[in-house]
Amino acid sequence: MTKRLPDFPWDSLADHAAKARAHPGGVVDLSIGTPVDEVPDLIQRALASVADQPGYPTTHGTPELRGSVVGALARRHGVTGLDPEDVLPTIGSKELVAWLPTLLGLGPGDVVAIPALAYPTYEVGAKLAGATPVRLADGEPPPEGTRLVWLNSPSNPTGRVQDAATLAQAVRDARDVGAVVASDECYLALPWEAEPVSVLRPEVNGGALDGLLAVHSLSKTSSLAGYRAGFVTGDPALVAALLEVRKHAGMIVPRPVQAAMTAALDDDAHVAAQRERYRARREVLLPALKSAGFSVDHSEAGLYLWSTRDEDAWDTVGWLAERGILAAPGTFYGPTGDRHVRIALTATDERVARAAERLAG
């Protein structure tokens, strides 16, 4: 079989990981955004409450879950007018990102536009479908032949927030070439210095959901990465088309996870508490990095500090690894990331404190 996917980026970190692990105080792994805090009790209880499930769950999700999605988007992000019918649970959002081009029927000759610096799975998804990924510079309109445009504000890896006017222009540009817009909003509930806005808001979409999908994840906001819990919503015709294929393909969220998601979406207190944990870690790491001579760009929201020592990204990864800190080189996200590293806020308070000490030297 000819190789059609890139090497898994994190494999190339193995030597630096070994060096960081050898630090006498143990590694502080800030290279991946995996949550470390406990799953809130109310969510664990909801999961366990439906353990006796001999039958198949529905691909569309329970009406309760879809109603809870609509409620949470309204309360948390000011999104109104959504019909629960147009909500579809996903097995985490990564699978949807990876398979969306395929599920939409894209193939050879079709272009999938992704940000210049982007979550690697957008490119992977285009390649799985046999489509062509094209990286767009800021504000660059998608070329003719683009069938899908990925937006991601707040961004992984840069933490950049695009304002409503900028996103609205991106939506207009995509519509001009007849492309679907998929807005990956998994960091929407983690604002620090700017207020992110959903593509589902009228100031972004001009009051119509045509051609739009918003992709959401419960992994970060509810510490549910282990449950695989996400959803997609937006244009009713697109959601119906996705549902149709996903039914055929068996892409079904387990029923206990559907119950856990419902409980998580109905409760905002644990989301606020989790946000404050990340805020506290950011308030330790950000000044520590700056004192150690780093510049931190963007990073107004989300789980990453997009940091540079104005040198090659791998040199910075090596410098940090010597101090027992593991970070991801910016090149994992695109060629223009070659002078940055991505430092995640997803470590325990204790590990984050150790990282700050080591940065202080």
Ligand X SMILES: Cc1ncc(COP(=O)(O)O)c(C=O)c1O
Chain residues in the site for ligand X (CB under 6 A): 33, 92-94, 97, 119, 152, 156, 184, 186, 217, 219, 225, 230
Q: How far is CA 141 from the centre of its chain?
A: 22
Which of 62, 222 has the CB closer to ligand X?
A: 222
Q: How far is CA 33 from the centre of its chain?
A: 9
CB of 151 to ligand X, least distance (A): 10
Backbone dihedral region of 37: left (phi > 0), alpha (psi from -120 to 50 degrees) or beta? beta
Which of 275, 290 has the CB closer to ligand X?
A: 275
CB of 121 to ligand X, least distance (A): 7
Closest C-alpha to 163, from 138, 181, 142: 138
Which of 323, 340 has the CB closer to ligand X?
A: 340
Which of 110, 184 has the CB closer to ligand X?
A: 184
Which of 88, 356 has the CB closer to ligand X?
A: 88
Residue 333 corresponds to which tokens in the numbers above?
């996200």
- Determine the Cα–Cα distance for residues 33 and 328; give it in Å rounded to an integer: 10
CB of 321 to ligand X, least distance (A): 22
Longest dimension (CA), the chain: 57
CB of 355 to ligand X, least distance (A): 20
- Determine the Cα–Cα distance for residues 242 and 361; give it in Å rounded to an integer: 52
Which of 171, 225 has the CB closer to ligand X?
A: 225
Quote the Cα angle for 326-330-336, to 5°: 165
Which of 33, 61 has the CB closer to ligand X?
A: 33
CB of 236 to ligand X, least distance (A): 23
CB of 74 to ligand X, least distance (A): 21
CB of 12 to ligand X, least distance (A): 18
Give the CA distances from residue 318 to residues 16, 218, 223, 326, 355, in Å, rounded to whole numbers and listed in that order: 6, 32, 29, 9, 15
Strands across the sheet containing 341-344: 295-297, 304-308, 341-344, 328-329
Closest C-alpha to 246, from 113, 18, 57, 43: 57
